[in-house]
Amino acid sequence: MKPAKQHGLWFHLFDVLLNIVIIVGVVAIIRTFLISPFQVEGNSMLSTLEHKQYIIINKLAYHTGSPGRGDVVVFRPPNDPKRPYVKRVIGVPGDRIVIEDGIISIEPKGSDTLSVIDESYLNSKNEGRTFQAPPSSGNRDRISYQVPEGRYFLLGDNRQGSVDSRSFRNGSGEAIPYVLEDSILGRVWLIALPISKIQSLEVPVYDL
């Protein structure tokens, strides 16, 4: 029986390096196309998400489909694309969104019926208090949005303390309320930390 072939130091170093490259590559693929961690900053999604919580976003969901009403998503806002935000999808392409007297109504594409949506995920401070920008203004006047194709209308669950589609402005101060589908990075799948808050997020079903 021949003795096992002995490999030199360089072989072992190459083997370790190759394994590191493979692991880094696999992690990069997972983070790019499948799932990715994200830390919540601020209180714009109270009480659904809290400041400093770690969440896991599902990126694959939007490689195989499109965002839906009620999805909580991480995205790059049109006014500051370098800083990802987390908000809830309220309007999808073709929707007409009406905000009046603190309440949101939606007329879906192809429908002629404007229906108030049930937002049971809002806490008592924000229920029935979705106002025009600035969000804390208390302005109950009627405002309407027509969501273009390929774009979405997003709001934070903390309606009186969220910079969202009501507030986005360009450098000239003009309203830019809609978010491109390509700017939506993924759907929030679950809260990962703190351990006491671990849970998956359920997507609400609006009766429209």
The residues facing 179 across adjacent strands are 152
Q: Is 65 helix (H, G, I), strand (E, B) or coil?
A: coil
Nearby residues of 135 by Cβ (< 8 Å), 6 or more positions away? 159, 160, 161, 162, 163, 164, 166, 167
Residue 82 annotated as catalytic: no
Task: Give the torsion through C-alpha atoms of 112, 115, 121, 126, to 10 deg.
Answer: 120
Catalytic residue among 87, 162, 165, 167: 87
Residue 44 annotated as catalytic: yes
Catalytic residue among 5, 36, 44, 196: 44
Q: Is the torsion defined by CA of 156, 157, 161, 166 positive or negative?
A: positive
State the Cα–Cα distance between residues 164 and 153, nearest whole angstrom: 9
Q: Of 173, 186, 168, 189, nearest to 81 (Cα)?
A: 168
Catalytic residues, by residue number, are 44, 87
